[in-house]
A and B are shown apart, each in its own frame.
Chain A
Amino acid sequence: MIFSIVIYSAPYTTQSASTALHFSKTLIGEGHKIYRLFFYSDGVHNASSLTIAPQDEKSLQAEWDTLIKVNKLDSVVCVSSALKRGVLSNEEAQRQGLTGHSLRDSSEISGLGQFIDAYIHSDRVISFG
């Protein structure tokens, strides 16, 4: 079956990003397809590259990154959520004249159209927040 996953919450603040990650891994393990990961609202922090986890805790951002790359997933952060929260791609940062960037290269910035498109092209959309 074709799934899309929407993540509304930042890692660590609530459990839901971790649940979403676990669920996504299981989906793939069970042979299902993920059409898109969509990070909305505080969920965009899951795609941040400027994070450091303590040695004895998991880095959710790194785990997402690996999952996306290994399985070649389409991963989108909502543009209006991301820019407001400082999750910027290199391209976007340059356009705005900012010196740093903070979006992992496994995700791309796009609009809410991609959110609606995910519903239209998936058998199931599962939301975590």
Chain B
Amino acid sequence: MDSLRFDTEGYLKDLDAWNENVALEIAKQENIQLTPAHWEIIKLTRSFYARHQLSPATRALVSLIKRELGPKKGRSVYLMKLFSGTPAKIVSKVSGLPKPDNCI
């Protein structure tokens, strides 16, 4: 990956440089084929960031999805299936947001 545009963990350096093509590029690095189900989550995550200026932790992401898309999708297993084991990190990365602060 281009080290001018991405940090060593693959997060976008200039958040304003994000667009859908960039998302596709990051997703490819993570071996994820973006489907409409993924885009739905990416859109929500970006709106969360725009409103709260926080990259959401998994818990917040799950509550948000539950509220906006219903209880069937608002579960961590649903997120994990789409974005692998540590969904908050991957979702933030693909969505062009900073790494979530509270990762342990």
Contacts and interface: CB of A to CB of B under 8 A. Distances in A.
- Assess A/B contact in the complex (Cβ within 8 A): yes
Interface of A: 80, 95-97, 110-114
Contacts of B2: none
A125 B7 CA distance: 36
B8 A112 contact: no
Contacts of A114: 104
B8 A111 contact: no
A113 B8 contact: no
11 contacts: A95-B8, A96-B8, A111-B102, A111-B103, A111-B104, A112-B101, A112-B104, A113-B102, A113-B103, A113-B104, A114-B104
Q: What is the interface of chain B mostly: helix, strand, loop, or mixed?
A: loop
A16 B94 CA distance: 42
A113 B104 CA distance: 5
Interface residues of B, number: 7
Contacts of A111: 101-104
Interface in B60-104: 101-104
Nearest to B104: A113
A80 B3 CA distance: 21
A68 to B, nearest CB: 21
A78 B86 CA distance: 21
Contacts of A97: 3
Contacts of A95: 8
Contacts of B102: 111-113
Nearest to B102: A112
A111 B89 CA distance: 14
A108 to B, nearest CB: 13
Nearest to A116: B104
A97 B4 CA distance: 11
A80 B104 contact: no
Contacts of A113: 102-104
A32 to B, nearest CB: 26
